[in-house]
């Protein structure tokens, strides 16, 4: 049994449910990208994107638990079919960066709404997401930089793919040490 500690506005609940939908769509897209990478033979990238999908699912669940905890209905969305093929490995990471930037904007919009409504409880809850989105965007920027540094020929792309099993943990631990 959940104990409701506070109520949020219907508008805020709807906006958080919209965010749940964004997180679900992102997770689905990352699974599709991981699947494409696996079919092509980019094993490091496949593992990376499958982990990204799990991360987006964790975000979605965090939002669902929040709504449940404040006595609002969480709505589990249907999601559209994501793309199933991509131009290149680099384009998958550009897709990921663009997706993370959209999610970041949506989080900022939620924070603005919480400020406007003087909903300090939700505002405080959303601070974790701001930090998380900064990390996510940095991660994708870091990977895209590797294409500029190493190149885009087959050997360079192979090397980038091979490093991706450890890139996520390296970037995240670097950011944690900087906090």
Concatenated DSSP letters of 142-156:
HHHHHHHHH-SSHHH
CATH of 10-178, one of 2.40.110.20, 3.30.70.270, 2.40.37.20, 1.20.1260.10: 1.20.1260.10
Q: Which pLDDT band holds residue 166 (cuts at 50, 70, 90)?
A: confident
Axis crossing angle, helix 89-117 with helix 120-150, rounded to the nearest 10: 160
Alpha carbon of 107 to those of 23, 74, 84, 128, 177: distances in Å? 11, 17, 27, 10, 24
Question: What pLDDT sits at residue 165?
Answer: 76
Express each pLDDT in 49-60 by its tens digit: 999 999 999 999
| CA dihedral angle for residue 79, residue 85, residue 90, residue 95, rounded to 10 degrees | -20
Residue of higher predicted confidence among 58 and 178: 58
Mean pLDDT of the chain: 92
pLDDT > 90? residue 167? no
4 with 70: CB under 8 angstroms?
Answer: yes
Question: What pLDDT sits at residue 7?
Answer: 85
pTM of the model: 0.89
Q: Give CA–CA dist 173/19, Å, rounded.
A: 26
Express each pLDDT in 77-126 by its tens digit: 999 999 999 999 999 999 999 999 999 999 999 999 999 999 999 999 99
């Amino acid at each position: 049994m959940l104990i409701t500690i506070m109520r949020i506005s219907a508008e805020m609940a709807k906006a958080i449910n919209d965010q749940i939908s964004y997180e679900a769509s992102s997770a689905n897209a990352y699974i599709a990208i991981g699947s494409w990478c696996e079919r092509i033979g980019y094993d490091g990238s496949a593992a990376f994107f499958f982990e990204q999908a799990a991360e987006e699912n964790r975000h979605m669940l965090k939002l669902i638990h929040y709504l449940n905890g404040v006595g609002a209905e969480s709505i589990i969305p249907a999601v559209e079919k994501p793309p199933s093929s991509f131009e290149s490995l680099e384009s998958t990471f550009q897709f990921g960066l663009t997706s993370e930037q959209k999610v970041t904007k949506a989080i900022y919009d939620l924070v603005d709404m919480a400020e406007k409504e003087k909903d300090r409880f939700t505002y405080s809850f959303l601070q974790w997401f701001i930090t998380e989105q900064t990390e996510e965007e940095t991660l994708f920027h870091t990977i895209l930089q590797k294409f500029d540094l190493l190149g885009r020929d087959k050997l360079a792309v192979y090397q980038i793919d091979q490093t991706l099993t450890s890139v996520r943990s390296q970037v995240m631990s670097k950011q944690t040490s900087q906090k």
